[in-house]
């Protein structure tokens, strides 16, 4: 295990059982044999279509979903089967829909203070209140907001409350699960900038999940691309954008809008045929073979190996 890794996952799987009849089950194979690491202080972006398993993967790392098999390491210690309470403080999550993730019956102060209570992170009532007010100011809210309820705030402000709640326990690692996709475009960049400032100030490490490559490409040091439960390519953000290796990454990149109209006209958009297959019955071999324009017979029969194609640039494809 490399000392610079904060998180590492090995052969991680998460299947959800679906009852099909008396004593009969099928399984949604949401995450399949995933391997990667996240270095301390970096942002790893994770992209892919809706339903590809990004959120499940983020939650499995935090053990909000128990992994079906595989291993999770935090600072080199395996945490797959340990009691999570000590790690809950170090590993936090910011949810996609801020209005649904905040308890409407609790005041903002109670929401932000709740985790501080669980982990006993203050010396006195005054210390608790000071910390809550400091956190609210830190995320761009007013310290007097602590007595109000979530419904009194806009979507962007609610997400700021969610961020203050995550920061309240002084975490090292945060899963940002599509934190801006439910917000107005005008607010999105404010939240992204704030997350970046927090990262620099507090030396945080992020797993930043998004369905849109154009969102993660600016804020991520490295990007992982997910398709139907597999990570198919992972590399440095610049490298992945300039020199994508996997056919699916090329497809996603061809859909990212470019501001220059001349470049935009000369670019060829790759359109995938067919729908994304069901994770209950994924295709054999390479899971992308039913839609890949380069698929050959071997792709239908053999799962491609996850290999380091260039330094810090990994992919799984038979023809690379
Ligand atoms: Fe396409 Fe085959 Fe590569 Fe899969 S392994 S991405 S089907 S070429």
Ligand 1 midpoint to CA 3 (Å): 34
Ligand 1 midpoint to CA 178 (Å): 28
For the chain, give the mean pLDDT: 93
Half-sphere CA count of 195, side-chain side, radius 13 A: 33
Q: How does DSSP assign 245-312, residue by residue? A: -SHHHHHHHHTS--S-HHHHHHPPPPPPPSPPPPTTSPPSSSTTTTT-TT--HHHHHSPPP-EEEETT
Query: Atom of ligand 1 at shortest distance to CA of 246?
Result: 6
Ligand 1 midpoint to CA 257 (Å): 25
Domain ranges of the chain: 5-90+174-179+211-316
Q: Is 288 in the pocket of ligand 1 (CB under 6 A)?
A: yes
Q: Which residue has the CA at smallest separation from atom 6 of ligand 1?
A: 317
| DSSP-assigned letter for residue 107 | -
Residues (pLDDT < 50) of the chain are none
Beta pairing class for 230-236 and 222-227? antiparallel
Ligand 1 midpoint to CA 230 (Å): 13
pTM of the complete model: 0.93
pLDDT tens by residue, 117-135 = 999 899 999 999 999 999 9
pLDDT (0 to 100) of residue 276: 85
> CA 122 to CA 290: how far, in whole Å?
55
Q: What is the CATH number of domain 5-90+174-179+211-316?
A: 3.40.50.300
Q: How does DSSP assign 57-103, residue by residue? A: HHHHHTTSS--SEEEEEETTEE-SSS--HHHHHHEEEE-S-HHHHS-
Q: How many residues does the chain have?
A: 320
Beta pairing class for 313-315 and 307-310? antiparallel
pLDDT (0 to 100) of residue 144: 87
Q: Is 247 in the pocket of ligand 1 (CB under 6 A)?
A: yes
pLDDT tens by residue, 82-120 = 999 999 999 999 999 888 999 999 999 999 999 899 998
Burial pattern 137-175, b for ≥16 Cβ within 10 A else e, equals ebbebeeebbebebeebebbbbbbbbbbbbbbbebbbbb
> Per the structure block, which two tokens stand in for 232?
């198919």
pLDDT (0 to 100) of residue 184: 87
């Amino acid at each position: 295990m490399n000392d610079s890794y904060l998180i590492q996952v090995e052969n991680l799987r998460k299947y959800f059982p679906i009852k099909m009849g008396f004593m009969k089950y099928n399984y949604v194979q949401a995450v399949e044999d995933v391997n990667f690491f996240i270095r301390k202080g970096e942002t790893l972006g994770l992209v892919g279509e809706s339903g590809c398993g990004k959120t499940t993967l983020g939650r499995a790392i935090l053990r909000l979903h128990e992994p079906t098999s595989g291993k999770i390491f935090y600072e080199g210690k395996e945490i797959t089967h340990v009691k999570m309470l000590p790690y809950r403080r170090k590993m936090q999550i910011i949810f996609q829909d801020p209005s649904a993730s905040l308890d409407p019956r609790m005041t903002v102060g109670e929401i932000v203070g709740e985790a501080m209570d669980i982990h006993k992170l203050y010396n006195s009532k005054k210390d608790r209140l000071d910390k809550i007010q400091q956190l609210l100011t830190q995320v761009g809210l007013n310290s007097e907001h602590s007595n109000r309820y979530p419904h009194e705030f806009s979507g962007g402000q609610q997400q700021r409350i969610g961020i203050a709640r995550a920061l309240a326990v002084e975490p090292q690692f945060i899963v940002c699960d599509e934190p801006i996709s439910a917000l107005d475009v005008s607010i999105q960049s404010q939240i992204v900038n704030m997350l970046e400032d927090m990262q620099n100030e507090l030396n945080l490490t992020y797993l930043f999940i998004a369905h849109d490559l154009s969102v993660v490409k600016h804020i991520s040091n490295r990007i992982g691309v997910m398709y139907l439960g597999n990570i198919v390519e992972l590399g440095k953000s610049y490298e992945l954008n300039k020199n994508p290796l996997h056919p699916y990454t090329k497809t996603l990149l061809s859909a990212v809008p470019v501001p220059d109209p001349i470049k935009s006209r000369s670019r060829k958009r790759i359109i995938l045929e067919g729908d994304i297959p069901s994770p209950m019955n994924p295709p054999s071999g390479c899971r992308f073979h039913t839609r890949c324009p380069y698929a050959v017979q071997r792709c239908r029969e053999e799962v491609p190996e996850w290999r380091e194609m260039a330094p810090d640039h990994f992919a799984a494809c038979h023809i690379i």
